[in-house]
Amino acid sequence: MLACILMGPPGSGKGTQAKLLSSELEIPHISTGDILRSEIASGSELGNRVKAVVDSGKYVDDELMIELIDQRLSLDDAKAGFILDGFPRTENQAHALDRLFEAKKYKQLKVIEMQVRQELLMERLTGRLSCPSCGAAFHKSLNKPKVAGICDNCGTALVTREDDLAETVKKRLQVFETQTRPLLAFYRDGNRLYTVDGSLAVDEIKTEIKRLLLAS
């Protein structure tokens, strides 16, 4: 059973790694955003409760989120393991998750921290360019469009989304520092934290995480 949580600030590349690892290790990538969307789409009683919360502009509370994660982890495809992404974000959530894992008799949890220095995160996140017409994504330095500022696919002028403006990015990184950073210490104290260098190439990072996860 490979029980794994991927943690890292916005721009650390954890979403990319979660997808790659999920397909290579044949265990599901479980992101809380996906859980919420699919539960709402299912029209279940739980889904309707989630929809009511989301529609009212509030956050889904920890108890409900744990219930959803419990349900997701009970599906057949998660029997051999899972990669959890986007949860927990606070210490309360981490404790609630520990209680769930204990109830489910998961013996060994590995928390992978993707460490990337602040300046590199800023460069990655503020350089993003999006096409308002077809949705294609580019980057000012890491994935340049053929013609500066123009979408390769459809020729529309590229824009920087609100989320990717320097001020917004700084705030998002700050939220991670104040809210989520203490969690790393929590997992480190429990000898469950493994840190990888998130500034390496995508393939190198993936190989390192795989090695950590498959080591006994």
146-175 binders of Zn ion (CB under 5 A): 151, 153-154, 156
Catalytic residue among 140, 144, 172, 188: 172
Pairing of β 137-139 and β 128-130: antiparallel
Q: Is 143 in the site for Zn ion (CB under 5 A)?
A: no
The verdict on whether 188 is a catalytic residue reads: no
Catalytic residue among 79, 99, 104, 161: 161
Q: Would you state the torsion angle of the CA atoms of residues 30, 36, 41, 44, taken in this order, to the nearest 10 degrees?
A: 100
Q: Is 66 in the site for Zn ion (CB under 5 A)?
A: no
CA distance 10 to 198: 12
Q: If you search the block for the tokens 């490979």, which residue do you land on?
A: 2
Q: Is 80 in the site for Zn ion (CB under 5 A)?
A: no
How big is the site for Zn ion, counted in residues (CB under 5 A)? Answer: 8
- Write out the H or E segment, with its range, that includes residue 181: helix 181-189
Chosen residue from 41, 120, 134, 202 binding Zn ion by CB under 5 A? 134
Q: 84 in helix, strand or coil?
A: strand
Active-site residue set: 14, 89, 128, 161, 172
Name the site residues for Zn ion (rule: CB under 5 A).
Answer: 131, 133-134, 136, 151, 153-154, 156
